[in-house]
């Protein structure tokens, strides 16, 4: 797991052909606005979150975010424990997502 600033996260994401964006907020938070192309898996679902994440392709590089960076940091650590080698946490979460389109 790596904590990346918005700039580093964005640059790395934009240069990664094997990237997947993961939003770990609640469905309600996701519906209120999200980073384009993100998929939503709610970390608060506990075992459901682990089950859903375990179905993801471990060969992908995951760019993970939440509201402020705390849940996504936890999600990255859980993903690392499940065998995901490349999980990048967006420091500051979507609150610090400046100058980007949020749908």
Give the pLDDT confidence of 50-86 residue by residue, as tens digits: 999 999 999 999 999 999 999 999 999 999 999 999 9
The verdict on residue 100 lying in a domain is no
**In-domain check, residue 90:** no
Q: Confirm whether 99 is domain-assigned.
A: no
The pair of structure tokens assigned to 97 is: 């997502």
**Is 102 a domain residue?**
no
Bridge partners of 40? 23
For residue 96, what pLDDT is reported?
78
Taking a C-beta distance cutoff of 8 angstroms, is the pair 25, 67 a contact?
A: yes
Domain that holds residue 55: 2-85
Query: 102 pLDDT exceeds 60?
Result: no
In a domain, 92, yes or no: no
Exactly one of 66, 87, 90, 94 is catalytic; name it: 66
Verify whether residue 76 is a known catalytic residue: no
């Amino acid at each position: 797991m790596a904590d990346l600033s918005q700039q580093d996260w964005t640059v790395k994401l934009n240069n990664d052909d094997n990237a997947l964006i993961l939003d770990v907020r609640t469905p309600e938070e996701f519906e209120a606005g999200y980073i384009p192309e993100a998929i939503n898996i709610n970390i608060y679902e506990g075992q459901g979150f682990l089950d859903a994440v375990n179905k993801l392709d471990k060969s992908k590089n995951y760019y993970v975010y939440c509201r402020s960076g705390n849940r996504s940091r936890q999600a990255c650590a859980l993903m690392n424990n499940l065998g995901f080698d490349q999980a990048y946490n967006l420091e500051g979460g979507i609150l610090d997502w400046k100058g980007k389109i949020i749908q």
